[in-house]
A and B are shown apart, each in its own frame.
Chain A
Amino acid sequence: MRFIIVSGPPSAGKTAVMIHTIRHLLKDGIKVAACKIDCLKTSDDDNYRALGIPVAVGLSEYLCPDHFFAANLEEIYAWGSYHGAEILILETAGLCHRCAPAVQGCQSICVIDNLSGIDTPQKVGPMLSTADVVLISKGDVVSQAEREVFRQRVEMANPDAAVLSVNGLNGQGSLKLKKIIMESASVNRIEGQELRCSMPAAICSYCTGETMIGSSYQMGNVKKVDFGKFEKMRSKEPLPSSDV
C-alpha cells in the first residue's frame, strides 16, 4: 500500500486537489481509501465519501493534534489495509507550524496557496521543507508575477521537492499528481518507520487541563519569552501601566 500524507495550512485546497486526484486513480481501477485527521470538526469526510471510497475521520479534540496524528498512524495504516486500499490518502489539519507529518516510507505532500502571502513558504516551516511534493494552488486568481515570486520562495524553502502548480477548482495538475503518486514506493509496514521531524515536547500544567493564567499555576516544561532589554528594565522598575 502507498501511504500518502497530505498537509498544509487551512483552506489551502488540500481536499479539493485530492478529490480530483482520487477521481483519476479510481478511473484506472485503483483502490483508494481516505482518512482525515482534524482537531474539533471536519466536513471533508462528506466530500471523500461522495467518491464512494472507504473514509475514516479522527478528531484529536482535547489532545494536541500533532501527537494525536503520530499516535494513530499504525491504526490508520491497518484500517487502510483492511479495506484493501492500494493507495491510502491521509489528510491532516490543525497541525502547528512547528510540526510536520512527514514519515519515512510515506509520500508527503504539502499544499500551499498563492493567496497566503509571500512570507508563508518561510513561515510554514518543516511541513513544507520536509515534503516530497509541494503543490501550489490558487494560481488562477493572482498575477503571473506573484506566482513566479511565490514559487521561487517555495523552491528556496524546499529545494529537493517536486513542485507542482495545481487548481482545486478545475483539477489542473491533478493528473500529474496522480502520476507522481503512482511512482512513489509502497510501504509494507508503518511500525518502525520514523518521523522526519520530531514533535514538540508538551508536558506542562496546561496539557493536563489547567486554565488559569499566571506563573503560580504553571508546572513542568514551561518556556518563557525572552524580552531582551525589556527584561532588565522590568526587574528595576514596575511595568508601565496601560491605562494612561
Chain B
Amino acid sequence: MIDSISVIGGKDKDGAAEAIPLLDIRAGEILAVVGTTGSGKSMLIADIEQWADGETPSQRRILINQMPAGEFADDRVLRGMAAEVSQNMNFVMDMSVKDFLNLHACSRHLEQAEMLAEQVLNYANRLSGEPIGSQDKLTVLSGGQSRALMVADVALISDAPVVLLDELENAGIDRLAALKGLALQNKIVVLVTHDPMLALLADRRVVMKNGGMFKLHSTTPEEKLLLKKLEQSNRQISFWREQLRLGFTVNEEALKQY
C-alpha cells in the first residue's frame, strides 16, 4: 500500500538547491505541476516514474511511505507502481482494441481479462468525444481516442497507485472527468498542465522554474470559486461549440434563450 510519496529536492539547472526541499504527496491527492516550457515539469514526472535515487540530472530522490523506493520494494514491483500518459505517446501495435486490452490484462496475469477489457472500453468512451469500438484497430484511433483509452487502461489494467499525466489538455478528452475518476480510486495523481481549470482542480500545485521546484501552493477557497466560474464559462463554450457543429446559426432569439 502506498500512503504517500515524497520528492526530496535536488538541484536546478544551475546546480543550485531547489527552493522546495521536500514535497510530500498523499494517496487520493491531485498535484498539479505548472511552469513555462522548459522549466522542468516533465523532468519532475520522469524522476517519479523511475523512482530516482540521486542518479538523474536533478539529483532528486523519491521516497515511498518515507522510505527510499529501493528499500520499499524490489525493482520489479516498483515498476508497476507508476504509470504515465503523455501527449507524445501513441499506440503502435497493429491490433484491435479488444485483443490489445486482453493481451495487456493477461500480461499482468489478471483474472477475468475479458470483463476488465469491457470496463476499460466503457470508461474510455466516457472520456472520449468520439466513440471507440472494441473491434477498432489501435493504430487508426484519433489522438483523443488514444489518450482516452490510455488513461482508462492505466486506471484499470495497469492499476498503478501513482498516475503521471503530462499535458493532456490538447488530447481532446474530458479531462475533468478523467481526473476525478482517477482521484476517486485513491491514487496519487501528478499532472503537468497549462490549463487553469486543471491547475485549480488540483489540491495543490507546484510551480517549476529553471529546472527546480520553485513554489508550492495549496488551492485556496478563492481559487476554488474562480474554478467554478471557469467551469461555467467552459460549459458555455462547449454548448456553443456543439450548436455550431450541428449547423445552428445564432439569431437574436437564440441569444436571448441561452
Contacts and interface: CB of A to CB of B under 8 A. Distances in A.
Interface of A: 114-115, 117-118, 140-146, 148-149, 151-152, 165, 170-173, 175-176, 179
B90 A141 contact: yes
B71 interface: no
Contacts of B157: 145
Given A140-B88, A176-B55, A179-B55, A146 B93 contact: yes
B162 to A, nearest CB: 12
Contact of A175 (B56, B90, B103): B56
B90 A142 contact: yes
Contacts, number: 62
A145 B56 contact: no
Contact of B91 (A140, A143, A179): A143
A217 B189 CA distance: 67
Given A143-B90, A143-B153, A170-B46, 12 more contacts: A115-B92, A142-B91, A144-B89, A145-B100, A145-B101, A145-B104, A145-B158, A146-B93, A152-B107, A172-B50, A173-B50, A179-B55
Contacts of B46: 170, 172
Interface of B: 46, 50, 55-57, 79, 83-86, 88-93, 100-101, 103-104, 107-108, 146, 150, 153-154, 157-158
Contacts of B91: 142-143, 146
Contacts of A165: 50
B211 to A, nearest CB: 13
B132 to A, nearest CB: 14
Contacts of B146: 143
B158 A117 contact: no
Contact of B158 (A140, A148, A171, A172): A148
